[in-house]
Each structure stands twice: as C-alpha cells, then as structure tokens.
Structure 1
Amino acid sequence: MFQGASSLNLDAKGRMTIPARHRDALLLQCEGRITLTKHPDGCLLLFPRPVWEMRREEIAKWPISARAWQRIFLGNASDVDFDGAGRILIAPELRTAAGLTRDVMMMGMGGHFEIWDAARLAESESDAIAAGMPDVLNDFSF
C-alpha cells in the first residue's frame, strides 16, 4: 500500500524521478512497469502495471453508456518503465491534461498514486476543506 506525499520536479523533457521508497516497492511489485492515465479531477493516476491490468479489464466491461469515461481512462493510458536513473517520462499529452509544470506532487493513495501539479493540488485541497467534510465521513474520527 502506498501512502504519503512527495514534492518532486519535472525536468525539461517531462521526466520525473520516483522517490526511492516508492521506486523500490514498485520494482519489487511490478519490475518498474507502470501505467499512467488521466483522471477527471485534474491529476494523473499512476498504477503498478498488474493493478492497472485488472482495472483495465473492469473498465473495458462498462456499458456503452459509459463510453466517454472509458475514453478518459483507457484512451489516455500510457505504459511506461523506469529508466536507469529511476525516472519516468510523462507524455506531453498527459502533462498538458494534468496541467503539470515543473513542481509536482506525488500522492500515495493505497494501491496507486496521484500525480498533481503542486499549485493545482493546493487549490483542490483548499476547495475541499472550504466545502466541508462530506456526509459519508460523518462517523469517521481519529
């Protein structure tokens, strides 16, 4: 399970170094083979390839009424591998879709990661806090 936030930078070619703690886990889990895709919240999703392959099968079975959502998730999916320096190359189309600039955040979300433009994530979190906790979390406490 992946958790925690990492503040990272994209280089001029659109490459991002995966933090060592996550890189090691991903190398063990999937030999560094991952899949990126677009998310409608304005970020990218990063899945270990075996996890993505299960999700892909589920998404492919959605009814025709969900075709637009299949395009969002499947049509934008990109398989990538770590390079020798532990970096991944994020395709220009995906960088544009998520508004990724130089400063990015990688968020562990259990079985996958979210990759956000740092400013966009801060705005999204601020909006969520301003909106208050959703009713589904009324019984949740620490």
Structure 2
Amino acid sequence: MLRLRGNAPATVDDKGRLKLPATFKADLEAFAVGEGRGGMRHYLTSLDGKGARLYPMPVWEDIEARLAAVPGTNPAKRRFLEVTAYYGSEVEPDAQGRFVIPPILREAAQLTGEVAILGQMDHLAIWNRAGFEQRLAADPLTTEDLAALADLGI
C-alpha cells in the first residue's frame, strides 16, 4: 500500500518542469514496480486550481472506477470530472525525475519557483510554497479538528 508522507521543498523551473524529490520518487517507483503495476504514469490535476495533486495512475484509476458506479446525472460527479479534466493531464517523469506541469494548472495554482510537495498518503499535493505557508497560518489545525479526528479513532 502506498503511504506518501512528509514535506519536500522543490522548484519549478522556467520550462514548467518539477523534479520529484528523491524520497517521493523512490516511493512512487517502488509502488509502480510492486504487485506488477509497472510504469511511472501519473495523473496531475487540481480540485480547485489553488494547488495540484499528483496521483499514481493506479490510484487515479481506482477513483475513476468508483466514479463509474455513480450515475452520470449526479451533479457532484459532473463537477468533479469537469474540474479534474480541465486541470488534469497524464504525466510521466523523464529520466531525471522531472515532469511538466501543464500551463493552465501552473498559472492557476501559481506553481512557479519554490513549491512545497506534501505526501498525502496515496497522492502528492503540490503548492506554491509562500501561498501554502499563508494558508497554514490563516487556517490552522484546531482543537475542533483534533476532536473530530478523535471521534474517527485517530
């Protein structure tokens, strides 16, 4: 099972390429090889245009399989598919572990220069570093959040 965790600062270069930090790259490669998954294809998208999400293709395909069971008339499904398709594209790292962030997503999420890459268990979240630090300060983890997690057994 994939368990991406922690934070790794990185930089998006002038050509929009992001190099996966070594620890995340190793975890994703091990996941791709494990259980015959093969390949390093990923789905790069966003739910809101403020940050990016990088899913290993098998994880994204599991999401698609669950969505396939939802009626096409469901408005939440339609909105989810529209936004993830608009910002989304299949990506595969080059030999140096870099992948190109598409211009639409790069501009919307301001993914230039310094970024923070956060392990989110089954995917990576990619944020403009300064913007993410501002968000952390403005919307911190609260005692109510911790109580809600405790109710879930965490």
Q: Answer whether TM exceeds 0.5 for this pair.
A: yes
- Shift of the 140–98 alpha-carbon distance from structure 1 to 2, 3 Å rule, reads same
* Counterpart in the other structure of 2:103: 92
Q: TM-score, normalised by structure 1?
A: 0.87
Contact residue 47 and residue 80 of structure 2 kept, 8 A: no
Contact residue 59 and residue 70 of structure 1 kept, 8 A: no
Counterpart-to-counterpart distance in 2, 1:8 and 1:36: 16
Q: TM-score, normalised by structure 2?
A: 0.81
* Counterpart in the other structure of 1:28: 30
Counterpart-to-counterpart distance in 2, 1:70 and 1:62: 12
Counterpart-to-counterpart distance in 1, 2:22 and 2:56: 15
1:43-95: CA deviation from partner (whole Å, max 9, x where unpaired)? 11111111011112223444432222221123432110110111111111111
Question: How many residues are matched?
Answer: 142
Is residue 2:145 matched to residue 1:137?
no
More strand as a share of residues:
1
1:43 to 51, 55, 58: 51
Instruction: Note the C-alpha offset of 1:40.
Output: 2.1
- Code of the aligned partner of 1:8: A
Gaps of 5+ in 1: none
* Counterpart in the other structure of 1:19: 21
Counterpart-to-counterpart distance in 2, 1:130 and 1:32: 33
Counterpart-to-counterpart distance in 1, 2:21 and 2:14: 18
Gaps of 5+ in 2: 33-38
Identity fraction in percent: 30
Q: 3-state SS of the aligned residue for 2:96?
A: coil
